[in-house]
Amino acid sequence: MFGMVGRGRARPARRFATAAMLATLAGCAGRGPPASIPAPPASPPPGMQYLYGSAEAAALDVQAFGALTVFVERQAERRASVVLAADASPDRPAFTACGDRPPAVVFDMDETLVLNLGYEMLEARGGKGFDADRWSRWEQADGAALAPLPGAVEAVAALRRRGVTPIVNTNRAAASAAAAEAALARVGLGAFRHGETLFLAGDVDGQRGKDGRRQEIARRFCVIAMVGDQLGDFSDGFRGDPAARRALATAPAIARLWGQGWFMLPNPVYGSGLAGDWDAVFPADKRWTDPVEGQGK
């Protein structure tokens, strides 16, 4: 994923915490009892139920990692890069040259190789929005509340046996490099080394966008496949409103890459795909009115 603070969630303003404190003090001053703490939701949000708990999401993960493994078996000797060249874009794609560089596959980390179960449950049960400071503490945690995506461990091991280097390009903070290395190893994905096979936010060009890191990785390796859960895991060039991004992602020049070098995993919990008002999501010529209920009922 983009990797949080690149998760696309706004950082809550500190004024809300101040307001809550003042309200508590007011209650203590005799203006009535403090409001009761809301009970945790009875169940996780639907997107979390799907991504973290459903058989359907697990099947999609296994399917994607299986397809990746088969693709790499076929493509490792062809040495065709799938990283867009520095002067290219999704609407005008061209690809870096491989030369004699060794083959590699580039993965995002969060919700691509690992599921952030501990963090997401804490956030959902507490009714808390995304908080950058809390996420930073999560990045530094021991990884015990992470899990690998179904199929990820097997796919990464298969790449290594084939002589293909797995590389992680994530927007986790560079200050969390050691913790990220330990977390990947803890869930069974093996050893990754910062600056060699693990790239984090700000590495290479100081940016949160991943294109600069992708170019550096492509300078060292022949990247024959990429895997992620957001369009930004493949190119920073997927910009615009939902319709424009959808059109870019399904245009013939890019559509041919899905499952053939670019592998997308589902993420209905957060990210750039969760955007669009009613008109952006439901085209005007695809509306329906129930003849019994009528419009607006």
Write a three-state SS string for 102-135: CEEEEECCECCCEECHHHHHHHHHCCCCCCHHHH
Quick one: pLDDT band at residue 15, thresholds 50, 70, 90?
very low
What is the pLDDT, as a whole number, of residue 1? 53
Question: What local confidence, expressed as pLDDT, does residue 2 receive?
Answer: 46
> What is the pTM (predicted TM-score) of this model?
0.87
Asked if 1 and 229 touch (Cβ cutoff 8 Å), the reply is yes
Which CATH code for domain 77-115+148-271?
3.40.50.1000
pLDDT band, very low/low/confident/very high, at 18 (cuts 50, 70, 90): very low
Segment 179-196 shows an average pLDDT of: 99
Q: How sure is the predictor about 26, in pLDDT bands with cuts at 50, 70 and 90?
A: very low
H-type alpha helices, the chain:
14-28, 46-48, 55-75, 117-125, 132-139, 152-161, 177-186, 211-220, 242-250, 252-255, 278-281
Q: pLDDT for 206-222, tens place per residue? A: 999 999 999 999 999 99
> Is the pLDDT score of 17 beyond 70?
no
Asked if 216 and 176 touch (Cβ cutoff 8 Å), the reply is no
Measured distance CA(40)–CA(37) in Å, rounded: 9
Instruction: Give mean pLDDT, residues 102-125.
Output: 98
What residues does each domain of the chain span? 77-115+148-271
For 121-161, what is each residue's pLDDT tens digit? 999 998 888 999 999 999 999 999 999 999 999 999 999 99
Q: Are 111 and 148 in contact (CB under 8 A)?
A: no
Mean pLDDT in the chain? 89
Give 20 or 121, the one with higher predicted confidence.
121
Q: Which two tokens stand for residue 49?
A: 């139920």
- Alpha-carbon radius of gyration of the chain: 22
* Measured distance CA(165)–CA(158) in Å, rounded: 10
Does the structure show a pLDDT above 50 at 22? no
